[in-house]
Structure 1
């Protein structure tokens, strides 16, 4: 049953947004103190983190038909962790792209894992909170999905760097498929139809984050990390392929 919009949710979203920026700011200060990266790289890191979190907070403040609830608060907390992971990318990727190193430092990989792991584990918590408090909304579900997609994109970039760029470019498909699908919606409006529930899709989506996190752990040999990541990508391609096929069949049935 749809919830009535409550004006009380706007101050809550604003307060949580300010707290989120405070948490991100503290993380960026710690990154600057611990990193030996040039000031220009740290500036790009700060801008990347602030832009990502800014988009998240803006989306919560712009809601008009559905309220901001307790589950959204969990998702905002996750988004702070994802923004910090994004801020780490320039620090780890700059030496690799500049040819100064074959891969990112082990300490950098551990830092990304330390931030991304709780963001990944909390993925199931916000949905549970929404159901238990009776505050589940379509806007909240979309919010959660977009934070998940951003986390996968960041992790796929980090894993591609560890496996070796440009050769490991294919890892980026894990993070890019969601956004490529959204681009496909512009060319194929029939794909906008709601997809039926699929346990396969849900399991495969959960596997991606776990595999990418494992592939980032410095203790995991690179061949094993590459093999597991390739298997996860294959499962994801099958999942997207099944969904696109269903959407195309459904569109033909309606025409």
Structure 2
């Protein structure tokens, strides 16, 4: 399995001074959570890791190779990106959208085969979307579209997952189901990095955390080291009350 690595990486946020260079390694089987207040650069970081934005300095490596030297098809065969917001530029059904995940593996002008269809149908079933397979994407709710985005990446079967607010628009039941899915992917050998706003989801499902501050400062490490109230209070500028529930810390804002 491939690892995603950064070497002296500085993400490019206009109008902000260069922050601390990132030297990270998202290894197969790891579940990384990216935490920080609005404007800290979480989405910019994921887009940079996916090769969608150029860094200000440093580089991203995938399977030991600089991402900038890999073609987009080669990157897409290894790395999948779940965006915070989906854009319905073309009319398509839920099943047709999920099948987009197989496009990096198809030759130009070749259609999806039975194996591709089976992967897409399995992904829809895993995301509780089978009953919506023939529905136009534009007719779905925000939460349903988010699950379709995850099903598309699951159909892609990447070795590294980048997920920007994967629980966005989802009710509590589906939030848990998505976090379980990402943990399942890690257990099967994928590396997972996800931006989250919910501290409690990060505390329960992530084994590593990266904290991003609005001034460019960053710190990272194992979750049990990073989930310290004084550290998180400084990150968010918000007092917190902490308790242990079922062996995991729970954080509640304090007035």
For the superposition of Structure 1 and Structure 2, which TM-score range results when normalised by the shorter chain? Answer: 0.3 to 0.5
More helix by share: 1
User: Structure 1-normalised TM-score?
Assistant: 0.33
Larger relative contact order, structure 1 or 2 (CA cutoff 8 Å, min sep 6) = 2
Larger radius of gyration: 1
More strand by share: 2
User: Structure 2-normalised TM-score?
Assistant: 0.33
